[in-house]
Amino acid sequence: MKITMRLIIIIACLLLIPFTAVATAAIKQRFADGPNRVFSGGPLVSGEIYSGPEPDWSFVNTIPTIEMQLLDPPRSRVIWTVEHEAKLYVWSGYMGTTVGRLWKRWPVQAERNGKAILRINDTRYERELVRIQSGDELDGITAAITSKYPSRTTRTTIETGGVWLFEATPGL
């Protein structure tokens, strides 16, 4: 019994090492100007705020990822994006699984308050995220997504809530 207890303590102590590394890296990223990979970053500080007419968003189709910060809470993350018919879209997968819902909390926060800042090529764009759950435009948007990324996003996954899709509309 004593040996079993000791084994459990040893395993717990050893597991504490990677846990500490992950927690430290996550906390460190919170104080950074933007995200890195999976951990949320702090507010997007650097980069000019874009002002002017609505940009031609087609340039994002050549960019793998962008940075997105919600105003509430003021945390940023790296996300995929796509342009379709002159509109800009962002989305989150894994929303149909428990781990995914624990991991991806920004879509719920964005649905509550969609005010966001996108940083693309060192320029910040003030946008309002509006969730799209249905409509014929989903066919074109998902086609744009799957042609750009190795994604299994379909109209059905959006309509059933497995993927949460947002249009990044102008303004704040």
Binding of other proteins at residue 42 (CB under 8 A)?
no
CB-CB contact of 139 with 96 (8 Å): no
Listed residue (84, 86, 85, 89) closest to 118, CA to CA? 89
Binding of other proteins at residue 103 (CB under 8 A)?
yes
User: Rounded CA gap, 165 and 108, in Å?
Assistant: 11
Binding of other proteins at residue 11 (CB under 8 A)?
no
Q: How many CB atoms lie within 10 A of CB 25?
A: 13
Select 16 or 49, whichever has its Cβ closest to other proteins. 16
Select 29 or 69, whichever has its Cβ closest to other proteins. 29
- Peptide bond preceding 73: is omega within 30 degrees of 0, i.e. cis? yes
Binding of other proteins at residue 6 (CB under 8 A)?
yes
Of 1, 17, 52, 150, the one binding other proteins (CB under 8 A) is 17
User: Rounded CA gap, 26 and 159, in Å?
Assistant: 32
Binding pattern for the stretch 48-77 against other proteins, x by CB under 8 A and - elsewhere: ------------------------------
User: Rounded CA gap, 169 and 54, in Å?
Assistant: 10
Nearest approach in angstroms of CB 77 to other proteins is 12
Of 7, 28, 160, 161, the one binding other proteins (CB under 8 A) is 28
Binding of other proteins at residue 8 (CB under 8 A)?
no
Of 7, 8, 11, 21, the one binding other proteins (CB under 8 A) is 21
